[in-house]
């Protein structure tokens, strides 16, 4: 997989790195001793020349320890560079839309996210708010190549993070785009809230099996709950640019929050989105309502005791996911579907 | 001293010589809340001097935190509600002397912020969450040993920049009360792994210098208001009195607390004027439970 360890050859300075406030840089890099010589480690160290390097044995001793505060760490996150030795590829969860692909997988080359969405399940899943970057990227490509021998697969590469937000640091998304171009059985979805499309475009060319999926929320929801993410206008501008360059683009309205004037907010959001994005060229849209498993929500509430959103009395659905009452979801689904049908055919609308 | 505000900062020192400059600089006065250790307190700070060694450091830390926990809880119980830490709005600092393993004389007297702490006996490693950095305070790693170590041969297996005898004990003592980001270690390089004569005369000025550097920064940090608790004291007291009067089970109390919290966070008021009758029969308690949910505007939790 050496060819995928290649970088753009550009020496982007830190000032061009799009990372959200409050942290435009990392004060510390914790690096596994075994990862010190990986090419990606060396590249990332160059990106943060002023960071203090602390050598560690295994990332788990730092990331998985008890007694951490996700919220406190999220305020000043540290970057951990490590090697992933197992679980390089996971089967997709039945609660995630698979868009008709039978063999749905995801991987996690980065754990945690630069953004800080109030509803994010990562704060219920991980004990740490720090970021882990697995620098043995070749092994991840190898794992997918092995799985491809068993049949075509659909792979989500930005599952437990927002990978495009990191693209100025290392062109990981571009590497996957180039990899999938050469693997006819592989379709990749890159889900993002970032407006960092140009960083991908610098290093990869569009092709039909690399789907760029932008998550959108009404501006009021985004401002209130999606701390650090680019405004919706910037995300849409990025999506439009990508579509014009020939990338398949998906729009994800997920999680839908039934708050305030949500019907009007979504009407406006769809109007704004489809004024920018040609519905005929759009791959499809995906819609999902807020949902969480009970254990994650319990942890998320502990991390954010002041969150009105997380602390409301959610109800368990048939799949034991905590969400809005079924009747409210059904009504909202009908409303959103009929609004989307003004722009798109039925076949392009997927509900999670 | 009658306490008016919760204690937000705690210090653990092994030796009185280490503590003195900080106690003076703050200032703090001796108090006697518990036997076995020397305690000091200022308006919103407290300190313990534990004596040398990991066990004493651990026991002294637990004693300090138990005392502070009791004091803070009595003063502002609503600040503890819904928080992940058992002792919220609080930070613990260990400041003390440590041997310099590379025996570099230029580092003597320098204060270091510890970013990795290893317990030699168990091999366990701890990484403090570094939320504060200080101008002119470099970072270092620390290993805690059971016995004093001297000479070049002692360097074997220490795998750190500095060596002390208390660090990991303090961590163990703090574990039941604090989260990682609440515990911080600063060490002053005091020797090059050789027995020191006139310790007090040599290290006194270094400790003084360290106190002058750290105390103003810590005071600035203390001047920032703590996180606001999700419930006010009145809301918290009412919520608890309802749970007590209606003799809610543990699970029902948790559900009740979640309902109250959710109500407040949605911007709705709690019916603080309503007080359910006490000593109800089981059946009436059950009816009251439904009534309370209705009052909060919830039909099915
Ligand atoms: S962008 Fe996605 S992964 Fe990142 S914080 Fe928001 S919800 Fe979580």
Which residue ranges have their beta carbon within 6 Å of ligand 1? A 113, 115-117, 120, 122, 161-162, 193
Whether B60 and B49 have beta carbons less than 8 Å apart is answered as: yes
Mutate to test the interface with A, among B81, B84, B115 (most CBs of A within 10 A): B84
Ligand 1 centre to CA of A123 (Å) is 10
Comparing CB atoms, the residue among A27, A56, A61 nearest residue B133 is A27
R_g of chain B computed on alpha carbons? 24
Per-residue pLDDT, A22: 37
Comparing CB atoms, the residue among A72, A312, A315 nearest residue B181 is A72
The token pair at B257 is: 């607390």
Phi, psi (degrees; rounded to nearest 5) at B298:
-115, 135
Query: Would you give the DSSP letter of residue A127?
Result: S
Cα separation, A286 vs A340, whole angstroms: 11
Mutate to test the interface with B, among A51, A132, A313 (most CBs of B within 10 A): A313
Atom of ligand 1 nearest to the CA of A226: 6
Whether A246 and A206 have beta carbons less than 8 Å apart is answered as: yes
Answer positive or negative: Cα dihedral of A118, A119, A120, A125. positive
Cα separation, A230 vs A194, whole angstroms: 6
Query: Is B230 close to A76, i.e. CB distance below 8 A?
Result: no
Query: Is A306 close to B131, i.e. CB distance below 8 A?
Result: no
Q: Is B4 in the A-facing interface, judged by CB distances under 8 Å? A: no
If residue A132 lies in a helix (H) or strand (E), which one and from where to where? strand A131-134
Query: Is B129 close to A69, i.e. CB distance below 8 A?
Result: yes
Q: What is the DSSP string of A210-250?
A: EEEEEE---HHHHHHHEETPPPHHHHHHHHHHHHHTT--EE
pTM attached to this predicted model: 0.90
Query: Would you give the DSSP letter of residue B105?
Result: G
Q: Which domains does chain B have, with CATH numbers?
A: 9-222 (3.40.50.1580), 233-295 (no CATH)
Q: Is B78 in the A-facing interface, judged by CB distances under 8 Å? A: no
Ligand 1 centre to CA of A327 (Å) is 27
Length of chain B: 301
Cα separation, B231 vs A308, whole angstroms: 12
Q: What is the pLDDT along chain B (301 residues), one digit of tens a residue?
A: 566 789 999 999 999 999 999 999 999 999 999 999 999 999 999 999 999 999 999 999 999 999 999 999 999 999 999 888 999 999 999 999 999 988 888 899 999 999 999 999 998 999 999 767 777 899 999 999 998 888 777 777 788 999 999 999 999 999 999 999 999 999 999 988 887 777 788 899 999 999 998 999 899 888 888 888 999 999 999 999 999 999 999 999 999 999 999 999 989 999 999 999 888 888 898 899 999 999 998 755 4
Q: Which domains does chain A have, with CATH numbers?
A: 83-351 (3.80.30.30)
Q: Is B141 in the A-facing interface, judged by CB distances under 8 Å? A: yes
ipTM: 0.89
- A73: closest CA of chain B, how far (Å): 7
What number of helices (H) and strands (E) belong to chain B?
Answer: 7, 10
């Amino acid at each position: 997989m050496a060819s995928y360890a290649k970088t753009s050859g550009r020496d982007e300075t830190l000032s061009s790195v799009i990372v959200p406030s409050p942290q435009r840089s990392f004060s510390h890099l914790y690096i596994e001793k075994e990862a010190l010589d990986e090419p990606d480690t060396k590249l990332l160290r160059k990106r943060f020349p002023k960071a203090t390097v602390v050598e560690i044995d295994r990332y788990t001793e730092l990331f998985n320890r008890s007694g951490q505060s996700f919220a406190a760490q999220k305020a000043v996150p540290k970057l951990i560079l490590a090697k992933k030795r197992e679980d390089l590829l996971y089967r997709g969860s039945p609660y995630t839309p698979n868009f008709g692909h039978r063999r749905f997988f995801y991987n996690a080359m980065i754990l945690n996210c630069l953004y800080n969405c109030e509803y994010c399940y990562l704060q219920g899943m991980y004990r740490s708010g720090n970021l882990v970057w697995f620098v043995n990227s070749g092994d991840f490509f190898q794992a997918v190549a092995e799985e491809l021998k068993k049949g075509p697969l659909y792979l989500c590469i930005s599952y437990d993070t927002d990978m495009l937000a990191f693209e100025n640091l290392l062109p990981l998304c571009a590497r996957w785009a180039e990899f999938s171009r050469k693997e006819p059985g592989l379709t990749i979805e890159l889900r993002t809230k970032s407006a960092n499309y140009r960083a991908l475009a610098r290093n990869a060319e569009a092709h039909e099996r690399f789907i760029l999926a932008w998550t959108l929320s009404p501006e009021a929801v985004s401002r209130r709950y999606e701390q650090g993410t680019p405004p919706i206008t910037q995300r849409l501008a990025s999506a439009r640019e990508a579509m014009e360059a020939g990338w398949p683009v998906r729009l994800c309205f997920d999680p839908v929050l039934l708050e305030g004037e949500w019907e009007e907010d979504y009407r406006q959001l769809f109007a704004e989105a489809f004024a920018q994005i040609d519905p005929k060229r759009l791959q499809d849209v995906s819609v999902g309502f807020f949902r969480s498993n009970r254990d994650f929500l319990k942890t998320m509430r502990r991390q954010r005791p002041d969150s009105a959103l997380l602390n409301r009395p959610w109800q368990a659905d048939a799949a034991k996911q905590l969400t809005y009452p079924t009747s409210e979801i059904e009504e909202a689904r009908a409303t959103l579907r009929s609004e989307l049908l003004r722009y798109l055919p039925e076949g392009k609308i997927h509900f999670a | 001293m009658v306490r008016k505000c919760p204690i937000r900062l705690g210090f653990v020192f092994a030796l009185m010589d280490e503590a003195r400059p900080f106690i003076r600089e703050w200032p703090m006065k001796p108090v006697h809340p518990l036997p076995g250790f020397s305690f000091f307190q200022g308006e919103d700070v407290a300190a313990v001097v534990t004596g040398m060694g990991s066990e004493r450091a651990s026991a002294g830390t637990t004693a300090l935190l138990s005392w502070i926990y009791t004091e803070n809880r009595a003063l502002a119980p609503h600040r503890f509600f819904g928080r992940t830490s058992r002792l919220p709005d609080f930070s613990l600092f260990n400041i003390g002397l440590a041997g310099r393993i590379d025996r570099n004389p230029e580092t003597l007297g320098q204060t270091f912020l510890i970013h990795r702490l290893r317990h030699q006996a168990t091999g366990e490693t701890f990484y403090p969450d570094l939320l504060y950095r200080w101008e002119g305070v470099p970072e270092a790693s620390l290993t805690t040993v059971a016995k004093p170590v001297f000479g070049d041969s002692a360097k074997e297996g220490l795998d750190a920049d500095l060596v002390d005898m208390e660090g990991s004990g303090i961590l163990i003592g703090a574990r039941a009360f604090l989260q990682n980001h609440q515990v911080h270690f600063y060490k002053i390089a005091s020797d090059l792994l050789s027995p020191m004569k006139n310790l007090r005369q040599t290290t006194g000025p270094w400790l003084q210098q360290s106190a002058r550097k750290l105390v103003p920064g810590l005071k600035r940090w203390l001047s920032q208001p703590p996180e606001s608790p999700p419930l006010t004291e009145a809301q918290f007291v009412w919520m608890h009195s309802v749970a007590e009067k209606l003799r809610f089970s543990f699970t029902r109390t948790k559900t009740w607390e979640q309902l109250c919290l959710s109500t407040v966070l949605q911007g709705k008021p709690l019916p603080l004027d309503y007080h359910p009758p006490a000593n109800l029969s089981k059946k009436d308690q059950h009816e009251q439970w439904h009534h309370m949910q209705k009052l909060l505007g919830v039909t099915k939790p």
